[in-house]
């Protein structure tokens, strides 16, 4: 098991946005969190990546505790340990978050050099292999403003892969893509899982979830309303809220 989340709770200004969220993610699995805007999906992602701290609950990543529930609140690992734990997490943001003043190559080698301590030549060799896999070998010296939305998406995936994480997280990966580009991203995600990476996808795109997911979680107003294997959830949902969601 690469990711274990237990009884995750989070509030903002007194409003509870996550209510006892629990799930697991194993090596080679693709899990999608589905729900309308405001369901709490992105907050889960931010907690897992330590961009937000939860109020209560436990998060275990690749056998190491990011935080542990101690009853009234969660106790977090030290900053030093959190940095180590986060090396196992790759993140592709909805707006890509590429550094606009850096070329594609510079975007890809920045973290391997500064986080992993690779020398520049080794980092560049790794980057070229990733760009070749993404079909972007001719864009190494281009800048983000020169790229299409689909190209930026693939560069963001390559950059996240450059640290060789155990778990890859995607925040709304299809929100700005046409059907052809969505299929391309689906194939990349499937390849990551085939290479034993665990993949967590935050989305409201049910068609994309049906295309790539192994497991699905439906959320509403900060709660999990149904979870299970993709075929079971989409073919025979048990929860009435899930049925209404699927009928929209």
Question: Are 13 and 132 part of one and the same domain?
Answer: no
Question: Are 80 and 105 part of one and the same domain?
Answer: no
Question: Are 155 and 207 part of one and the same domain?
Answer: no
Question: Are 153 and 211 part of one and the same domain?
Answer: no
Q: For residue 248, what pLDDT band results from cuts at 50, 70 and 90? A: low
Q: At CA 228, angle to CA 52 and CA 58, rounded to 5?
A: 30
Of 143, 164, 185, which residue constitutes the final position of a domain?
Answer: 164
Phi, psi angle pair for 111, to nearest 5°: -70, -45
Of 111, 144, 164, which residue constitutes the final position of a domain?
Answer: 164
Domain that holds residue 14: 1-88+169-248
Question: Are 79 and 152 part of one and the same domain?
Answer: no
Question: Are 158 and 232 part of one and the same domain?
Answer: no
**In 230-247, which positions are buried (b, 16+ CB within 10 angstroms) versus exposed (e)?**
beebbeebeeeebeebee
* Residue reference for tokens 């070998």: 137
- Give residue-wise pLDDT tens across range 71-107: 889 999 999 999 999 999 999 988 889 999 999 999 9
- Give residue-wise pLDDT tens across range 100-154: 999 999 999 999 999 889 999 999 999 999 999 899 999 999 999 999 988 998 9
Query: What stretch of H or E contains 129?
Result: helix 120-133
Residue 25 zone, left/alpha/beta (φ > 0; ψ -120 to 50; rest):
beta
Question: Are 245 and 227 part of one and the same domain?
Answer: yes
Nearest to 154 by CA among 108, 198, 112, 194: 108
Q: How many CB atoms lie within 10 A of CB 188?
A: 20
CATH number at residue 11: 3.40.50.300
Question: Are 52 and 128 part of one and the same domain?
Answer: no
- Give residue-wise pLDDT tens across range 183-237: 888 999 999 999 999 999 999 888 999 999 999 999 999 999 999 999 888 888 8
Q: How far apart are CA 234 and CA 245, in angstroms?
A: 11
| Residue 149, helix vs strand vs coil | helix
- Which pLDDT belongs to residue 95? 86
Return the bridge partners of 56, or none.
9
Of 164, 197, 216, which residue constitutes the final position of a domain?
Answer: 164
Question: Are 183 and 76 part of one and the same domain?
Answer: yes
Count how many domains the chain has: 2
Tell me the pTM: 0.92
- Give residue-wise pLDDT tens across range 2-55: 999 999 999 998 899 999 999 999 999 999 999 988 899 999 999 999 999 999
């Amino acid at each position: 098991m690469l990711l274990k989340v237990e009884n995750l709770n989070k509030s903002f200004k007194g409003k509870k946005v996550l209510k006892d969220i629990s799930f697991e993610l194993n090596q080679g699995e693709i899990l999608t969190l589905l729900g309308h805007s405001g369901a709490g999906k992105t907050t889960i992602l931010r907690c897992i990546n330590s961009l937000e701290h939860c109020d209560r609950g436990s998060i275990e990543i690749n056998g190491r505790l990011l935080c542990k529930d101690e009853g009234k609140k969660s106790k977090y690992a030290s900053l030093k340990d959190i940095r180590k734990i986060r090396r196992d997490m790759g993140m592709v943001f909805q707006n890509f978050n590429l550094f606009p003043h850096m070329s594609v190559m510079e975007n890809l080698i920045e973290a391997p050099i500064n986080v992993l301590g690779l020398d520049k030549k080794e980092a560049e060799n790794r980057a070229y292999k990733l760009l070749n896999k993404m079909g972007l070998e001719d864009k190494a010296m281009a800048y983000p403003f020169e790229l299409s939305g689909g190209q930026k998406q693939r560069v963001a995936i390559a950059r996240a892969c450059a640290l060789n994480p155990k778990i890859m997280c995607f925040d709304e990966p299809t929100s700005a893509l046409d059907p052809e580009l969505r299929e391309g991203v689906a194939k990349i995600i499937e390849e990551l899982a085939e290479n034993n990476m665990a993949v967590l996808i935050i989305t409201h795109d049910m068609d994309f979830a049906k295309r790539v997911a192994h497991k699905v979680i439906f959320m509403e107003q900060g709660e999990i309303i149904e979870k299970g294997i993709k075929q079971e959830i989409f073919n025979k949902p048990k929860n009435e809220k899930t049925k209404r969601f699927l009928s929209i």
